[in-house]
Amino acid sequence: MSKLSRRQFNTKLTKGVGAATIAASLPINCIVANPMEKKKLGIALVGLGGYSTYQLAPALQDTEHCYLAGIVTGTPAKEQVWSDNYGIPKKNIYNYGNFDEIANNEDIDIVYVVLPNSMHADFSIRAAKAGKHVICEKPMAMNVAECDAIIDACKDAGVKLGMGYRLHSEPYTQEVKRLVKEKTFGKVNYVTAEAAYRSLGSPNQWRLDKKLSGGGALVNMGVYAIQSLIYGTGENPISVSAQEFSTRPKYFKETDETITAQFEFESGVVGNMMTSHNIRANRLFGSCERGWYELDPASTYIPLAGRTSNGELNFEQESQQKLQMDDFAKHILFDTPNLAPGEMGKRDMMIIAAIYASIKNGGAKQSLNFEPSYGFGG
């Protein structure tokens, strides 16, 4: 019979092919390692910009269930630097042209796509077809159709798909989710979320190029505000109205500078959000029947801070990226819940599309229709 590789074996198990069925087809002297016995999963970072360089790669030096196994870069000069810094063997270094050969590399289990937004769908789909599990940075894609294509490709290949939503793994965010779920302060009545920073970089950066980014502050920082409103209420919104403001049109020539939006939820909760590339703000606040909660800052890297009407919140903090990647690795290895599944990325892109549609139509209310649990992770 033909040899069954570990990658093929793992893929068959993921797709639900019983181990006994596979074992029955193997020679007696063929030993196949149980994928659950693999202590750490190898991650390849695709795109070696600032986030990979200063956040993901350092975090992968401390992760318990995954490690930095490979890189994919379009800049040849970075290959030797990363190889020297992290001991990455030449066989685990790829460029965008030969990326598909990663299918034959059994050191790499997960591909983390950390590229400009316009490249997310292409490389997530190619990674899935190569039999690799996928983490896709936010926003998931340029539009909802691309989100569907990524989700379908991962399902067809029998691989796991997660979003690079680091906050779902950190303790302050998890505490807000708990307070809301358990109704510690009763029903939530009002939530406001702000996620913004002042951009002073080159006007030629890719985030200000709509062909590469798909949008401005909304698709970059706005995702955090949208996420905050949803886990701050425990619900998906049913409608949204939005407005756009610009005070630096010569700098923000193609992309949105500042956006505000108002959300309605089925339970009657009202939500407001603001996102900007020209304002500094980072806060989540929820008013409830018998108290309140607040995170400020709410979505930066460590340290976060929080308080409730009962007093200060105080949790040990460590790299959010470390926690996020370990949680996704545990989801693969031990079947723990996927805290940020692909459907969450698609839901957020649907909300983004509705916000842009509202702005285009003079702030007209846009209806949103989700199943109650759609897009919520474990």
pLDDT one-digit tens code per residue, 128-186: 999 999 999 999 999 999 999 999 999 999 999 999 999 999 999 999 999 999 999 99
pLDDT one-digit tens code per residue, 42-76: 999 999 999 999 999 999 999 999 999 999 999 99
Enumerate the domain spans of the chain.
38-164, 167-321+340-367
Name the fold adopted by 167-321+340-367.
Dihydrodipicolinate Reductase; domain 2 (3.30.360)
Q: What is the mean pLDDT of the chain?
A: 92
Question: Among 15, 9, 56, 62, which residue's Cα sits nearest to residue 32?
Answer: 9
Measured between alpha carbons, how far is 218 from 360 in angstroms, rounded to an integer?
14
Measured between alpha carbons, how far is 67 from 147 in angstroms, rounded to an integer?
27
The pTM score is 0.90
What does 331-363 look like in DSSP terms, one character per residue? HHHH----SSBHHHHHHHHHHHHHHHHHHHTTT
38-164: which CATH number, 3.40.50.720, 3.40.50.1440, 3.40.1360.10, 3.40.50.150? 3.40.50.720
Quote the tokens at residue 94: 């790829």
Question: Among 179, 185, 282, which residue's Cα sits nearest to residue 234?
Answer: 179
Quote the tokens at residue 377: 């992770």
Reduced to 3 states (helix: H, G, I; strand: E, B; else coil), residue 62 is: coil
Which pLDDT does position 37 carry in this prediction?
A: 56
Do 64 and 327 meet the contact criterion of CB atoms below 8 Å apart? no
pLDDT one-digit tens code per residue, 230-261: 999 999 999 999 999 999 999 999 999 999 99
Question: Among 140, 138, 113, which residue's Cα sits nearest to residue 43?
Answer: 113
The Cβ-side half-sphere exposure at 64, using a 13 Å CA radius, reads 7
Residue 360: pLDDT over 70:
yes
Measured between alpha carbons, how far is 347 from 230 in angstroms, rounded to an integer?
11
**Amino acid identity at 81:** V
Do 112 and 69 meet the contact criterion of CB atoms below 8 Å apart? no
Q: Indicate the range of 7-16, 106-115, 250-259 predicted with least confidence.
A: 7-16
Reduced to 3 states (helix: H, G, I; strand: E, B; else coil), residue 105 is: coil
For tokens 């401390």, what's the residue?
62
Question: Among 249, 223, 246, 261, which residue's Cα sits nearest to residue 350?
Answer: 223
Which pLDDT does position 302 carry in this prediction?
A: 86
Please tell me what DSSP assigns to residue 276.
E
Omega cis (within 30) before 303: yes
List of residues 6+ apart from 73 with CB closer than 8 A: 47, 48, 79, 82, 93, 94, 95, 96
Question: Among 230, 225, 169, which residue's Cα sits nearest to residue 197?
Answer: 225
